[in-house]
């Protein structure tokens, strides 16, 4: 399954190269054209107010992307939660809960005292955000309007972070933050399913602030946007944690041989980052994005562990592993953001998050 996913990912990111890729691309392209026109029509109907959208009584900050997967959205949302909490706000994260169980109603992941649900119930990202930010409210629902209403009315939220909200036009927002991968922001330039784009590139005109993520060099990429563009990169911490939360310096792992694994959109980037930190990896095992770890995945890990002393993975994967019988001791390495324009994001958001300061 991972090989098939890798084949599709290469095609959608880079365009067709081999004969097989060209054949698949030719089949998918007509569906992309149909999808593009449907999405354009939908956006037009919202823009003309033929479709109604909900206006929340509190500020709503949307964080989303133009392409599927791999922009590093979770660390950005985590960064925004911490900023809102530092301003004394009662912040609520509202998510669809991708990767969790499917519910028709609103599921409260956290009431501001840490997670109440497991990652299998609410999805790995909402669970991780609730665990890393126990004071934040976290709610998931396929109908995010209902989740926002509950967050405000039942829990007193005064700021809402709409996770993966760029295409969720049923909710009005005060700021639209759009994430783009600096290495390849549009994939091969086509909409799903022949490419990675959820919308045409022209949809960027709705954005207010743009974050170019994975900026590992000083090269400037020109974007067809009017709003400010910030640059950041994802950096691994200098420490690792056991699945129980015990912290150790990465230098201790660098003295041994490890096997890295990850069920994220771009696992190879994670493996390269570990090597850049000085870790010696016997192998890197990629799994599907939002992978649910079953006996099949555990067998793959066990087969890769010959000559290794430990396993290492991401925080998003680690939250799903605590009850599993892993073949070796397992560590997680936290990830954070490093902004080129220090403080610019906070200055941009302050009038929305702290409107009383603006009035002074």
Instruction: Give 123-159 pLDDT, tens digit per residue.
Output: 899 999 999 999 999 999 999 999 999 999 999 999 9
pLDDT of 171: 98
Q: Is 3 marked as a binding-site residue?
A: no
Would the pLDDT of 110 be above 90?
A: yes
Least confident of 51-55, 113-117, 166-170, 218-222: 218-222
**Mean pLDDT of all residues in 185-203:** 94
CA 64 to chain centre: 8
Q: Where are the beta strands (DSSP E) in 66-194?
A: 91-95, 107-111, 137-140, 159-163, 175-181
Mean of per-residue pLDDT scores for the chain: 92
Q: Is 171 marked as a binding-site residue?
A: no
In angstroms, rounded to a whole number, what is the distance separating the alpha carbons of residues 54 and 120? Answer: 29
Q: Is 130 marked as a binding-site residue?
A: no
In angstroms, rounded to a whole number, what is the distance separating the alpha carbons of residues 271 and 260? Answer: 7
In angstroms, rounded to a whole number, what is the distance separating the alpha carbons of residues 88 and 236? Answer: 28
Q: Is 292 marked as a binding-site residue?
A: no
Q: Is 71 marked as a binding-site residue?
A: yes
In angstroms, rounded to a whole number, what is the distance separating the alpha carbons of residues 144 and 105? Answer: 10
In angstroms, rounded to a whole number, what is the distance separating the alpha carbons of residues 191 and 29? Answer: 9
* Residue closest to 178 by CA, chosen among 164, 188, 195: 164
Q: Is 72 marked as a binding-site residue?
A: yes
In angstroms, rounded to a whole number, what is the distance separating the alpha carbons of residues 10 and 32? Answer: 17
Identify the DSSP state of 50.
S
**Mean pLDDT of all residues in 330-358:** 89
The answer to whether the Cα torsion of 130, 133, 134, 137 is positive or negative is: negative
pLDDT of 3: 64
Q: Per CATH, is 238-333 categorized as 3.40.50?
A: yes
**Mean pLDDT of all residues in 250-264:** 95
Q: CB under 8 Å to 243, separation ≥6 — which residues?
A: 318, 321, 322, 330, 331, 332
Residue 106 · residue 149 · CB < 8 Å = no
Q: Is 68 marked as a binding-site residue?
A: yes
Q: Is 222 marked as a binding-site residue?
A: no
Would the pLDDT of 13 be above 90?
A: no
Per-domain residue ranges for the chain? 60-89+158-234+338-359, 238-333
Higher per-residue confidence, 352 vs 216: 352
Query: What pLDDT band is residue 360 in, cutting at 50, 70 and 90?
Result: very low
Query: What pLDDT band is residue 47 in, cutting at 50, 70 and 90?
Result: very high
């Amino acid at each position: 399954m991972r090989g098939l996913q890798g084949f599709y990912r290469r095609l959608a990111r880079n365009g067709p190269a081999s004969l097989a890729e060209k054949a698949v691309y030719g089949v998918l392209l007509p569906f992309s054209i149909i999808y593009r026109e449907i999405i354009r029509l939908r956006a037009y109907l919202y823009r003309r107010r033929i479709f109604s959208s909900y206006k929340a009584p509190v500020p709503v900050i949307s964080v989303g992307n133009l392409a599927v997967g791999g922009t590093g959205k979770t660390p950005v949302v985590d960064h925004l939660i911490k900023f809102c909490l530092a301003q004394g706000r009662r912040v609520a994260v509202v998510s669809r809960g991708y990767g969790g169980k499917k519910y028709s109603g609103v599921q409260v992941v956290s009431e501001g005292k840490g997670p109440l649900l497991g990652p299998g119930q609410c999805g790995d990202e909402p669970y991780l955000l609730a665990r890393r930010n126990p004071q934040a409210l976290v709610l998931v629902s396929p109908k995010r309007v209902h989740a926002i209403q509950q967050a405000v009315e039942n829990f007193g939220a005064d700021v809402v972070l709409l996770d993966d909200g760029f295409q969720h036009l049923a909710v009005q927002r005060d700021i639209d933050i759009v994430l783009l991968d600096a290495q390849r922001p549009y994939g091969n330039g086509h909409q799903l399913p022949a490419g990675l784009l959820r919308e045409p590139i022209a949809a960027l005109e709705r954005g207010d602030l743009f974050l170019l993520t994975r900026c590992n060099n000083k090269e400037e990429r020109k974007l067809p946007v009017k709003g400010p563009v910030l640059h950041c990169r994802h950096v691994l911490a200098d420490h690792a944690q056991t699945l129980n939360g015990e912290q150790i310096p990465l230098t201790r792992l660098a003295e041994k041989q490890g096997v890295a694994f990850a069920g994220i959109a771009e696992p190879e980037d994670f493996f390269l980052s570990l090597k850049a930190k000085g870790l010696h990896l016997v192998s890197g095992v990629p799994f599907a994005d939002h992978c649910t770890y079953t006996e099949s995945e555990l067998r793959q890990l066990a087969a890769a562990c010959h000559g290794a002393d430990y396993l290492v993975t991401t925080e998003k994967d680690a939250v799903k592993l605590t009850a599993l019988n892993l073949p070796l001791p397992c560590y997680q390495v936290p990830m954070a953001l490093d902004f080129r324009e220090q403080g610019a994001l906070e200055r941009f958001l302050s009038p929305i998050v702290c409107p009383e300061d603006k009035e002074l």
